[in-house]
Amino acid sequence: MLALWERTKKAIARTDQEIVREAHKECSTVITSNCWDFVRWIQEYQNPPNNPACRDLWGLLVIPNREIVREKQLEAIRHGLIVPRLGTLGWPGVAMLNLHVHLTDEARIEIRRFEAPVAQLDRVYDFGS
């Protein structure tokens, strides 16, 4: 996968929580197959308890575990997401909107947005292929 996007790099951090902190510091999008653990850690990081400040991140891309499915779907979104009636939303736009993009095993793309100040996942946009 790293060869697919030239600017991707492996996280230095070891735990999921540390990876979320590193992604925030580096202004990077997290790419993983471990969806719900990262959703939980991102929500917790963006809204720490007893802290009125909200910290936005740069999105989450969830990819399938199966390599053949993953490579085909990643190639389809290499330059961004095709949004009906709007065109292509490039990856900088995905990051700026703090979107959670999930490529499913069924070749569907689900898009959610982490909402501030409570960093909850908003509605689902499903762009089936």
Q: What is the reported pLDDT for 20?
A: 93
Domain containing 92 equals: 16-128
What total number of domains does the chain contain?
1
User: Does a structural domain hold residue 102?
Assistant: yes
Residues contacting 105, CB < 8 A, separation 6+:
64, 66, 69
pLDDT for residue 118 is more than 50: no
CB 90 within 8 Å of CB 79: yes
Q: In the beta sheet, which residues pair with residue 83?
A: 87
pTM: 0.76
Q: Are the CB atoms for 56 and 49 separated by under 8 Å?
A: no
Query: What is the per-residue pLDDT across 42-97, written as a single tens digit (0 to 9) for each?
Result: 888 887 777 666 677 888 999 888 776 777 788 888 888 888 888 889 888 888 88
Q: Is residue 115 part of a domain?
A: yes
27-42 in b/e form (b: 16+ CB < 10 A) is ebbbbeeeeeebbebb
Alpha helices in 1-129 (DSSP H): 16-26, 35-46, 67-76, 91-96
Q: Is residue 3 part of a domain?
A: no
pLDDT tens digits, one per residue of 5-25: 667 788 999 999 999 999 999
Q: Is residue 6 part of a domain?
A: no
Look at residue 25 and tell me if it is in a domain: yes
7 domain-assigned? no
Q: Is residue 2 part of a domain?
A: no
Tell me if 78 sits within 8 A of 4, measured CB to CB.
yes
- Does 84 map to a domain? yes
Query: What pLDDT is stored for residue 34 in this prediction?
Result: 87
Maximum Cα–Cα distance for the chain, whole Å?
44
Output the pLDDT for position 51: 66
